[in-house]
Chains A and B, each alone.
Chain A
């Protein structure tokens, strides 16, 4: 049973009540069909209203859900013959990022993604999906390998952010992220990025310069965590809920700001309710995206990426106060 999220409590309570009535009806042999039907209708309405207009903070909670499917879950559902590859050849192997080769419907492909743990033990090993420089450098190594052998690259983004540690700084965290941004810009193969959970700042962007960037409906992408923003803006991390709303970090926000390409629909109530079906929803978008990119030349791919990022931003000029996009 998934951990209960506060905004889902009314739904769970109603579900419990229906279950109680059903068992009561069986036990006492009293006909409560009408009452149950009425409650089930109410439940369906409640689910629709709760999940169709999700508040930013509710999406944040779903994006961080302990049972939310991870990169390795989607790899399992979407690809065949996956072989994981390790190490940056410079320092070590960062398990906060996984990568490897596989087939996507008979097409050889390289997959790279942030990897959270499913339990405490795995989370310690994977540093809660927060990479060190060697993680970004492993990712870049695999991207260059993909380029050499003309394989498209798919990146799954799911991290709270780069790890703020001493060793990470000593080994050039900034350079490792910056290098990925520049090198991804020049890749001669298709690159598709999908934000599947949290897209936290530079640590997320280091896998995020693609021809297409898609987001799952309840994922987030931000320059700073809502808690971090709240701490700076109001000196109070508990204002995170308010920050989540004002920072515009949800998939619909990013679509509106012209940053992402498509919002990938989620299973009602969040991807964790049915990972396999969620993978199918991702699959549909991946296939169309890949189709359109595979027909492009190397130069067209690089230019498309250039134009895509070049147009992100909002600004104006002193003498015409119109903000252009």
Chain B
């Protein structure tokens, strides 16, 4: 124990875990990475990418998430063409961004916009873990901040789906500062009495977990989502102890009083819609 205190620490931030790398399923048939249950991909999509066998929630792209949540034809995207620079002149960064743009058909790790959920107006931000692990650099911070400002201007609730490995290392301390930037905007939103709902999906870690993801008026999560600040391996190295299997899962956080509710994907739209109604009808 004492020995553990002298170990070099603090290597958290954007360490991707094995699980995260599973992409959205392709091909005719898909095998669940958890229970090996085989499903027709089309059926799987109809089931909102949830395994019928074990209820494993596959990662969802931002496009799929928006389609599953927002009333058809009501979504208007903000700042779709905003792209990252390379402020630290990091080797290969530009190429990696370019590669992810091609792969995901989006320009950065968050999609923001306005739309309706059961005919109620919302401002929405959806992070996408396929793009640089959903990490937050200048663009992610700026897009989320602008979305919050839109919510303030239009007096709508602000809803965010987080999926992020944390701050983006290639933009260094500029990434860290996006935590502060989004926070000053959220404070303004809160001071205007507007609603903020945060839904943490797999994974929500590091600087994203330690900023907007954790300060919703309501903090929700999808089942089994990995949520935490420091990486599991780093903690194990530091305290020289093995951590329980459910450590940093949504269920673990719920047990420790850090979440309002864990919501199954099939219940997500309904729950949000009800909550939005409660807030709408509560306002005279």
Contacts and interface: CB of A to CB of B under 8 A. Distances in A.
Given A202-B210, A224-B11, A313 B238 contact: no
B10 A160 contact: yes
A145 interface: no
Interface in A154-189: 160-166, 168-175, 177-179, 181-186
Interface in A275-325: 305-306, 309-310, 312-319, 323
B214 interface: yes
B183 A181 contact: yes
B235 A223 contact: no
Contacts of A254: 173
Given A174-B229, A202-B207, A318-B81, A223 B183 contact: no
Contacts of A237: 8
A313 B9 CA distance: 28
Given A164-B12, A228-B10, A257 B173 contact: yes
B13 A223 contact: yes
Interface stretch (A13-21, A47-55, A245-253): A245-253
Interface in B223-278: 227-231, 234-235, 238-239, 241, 243, 247-248, 256-258
B211 to A, nearest CB: 5
Contacts of B241: 166
A165 B107 CA distance: 35
Interface residues of A, number: 67
A298 to B, nearest CB: 12
Interface string B62-102: 00000000000000000001111101101000000000000
Contacts of B82: 315-317
B111 to A, nearest CB: 15
Interface stretch (B118-126, B153-161, B185-193): B185-193
Nearest to A222: B173
Interface of B: 2, 5, 8-15, 81-85, 87-88, 90, 107, 138-139, 141-142, 145, 167, 169, 171-181, 183-188, 190-191, 206-207, 209-215, 227-231, 234-235, 238-239, 241, 243, 247-248, 256-258
24 contacts: A160-B9, A164-B235, A166-B241, A173-B230, A174-B210, A174-B214, A177-B229, A178-B210, A178-B212, A181-B211, A182-B187, A201-B13, A201-B176, A209-B183, A209-B184, A223-B169, A227-B11, A228-B12, A228-B13, A229-B169, A305-B184, A309-B183, A313-B177, A316-B83
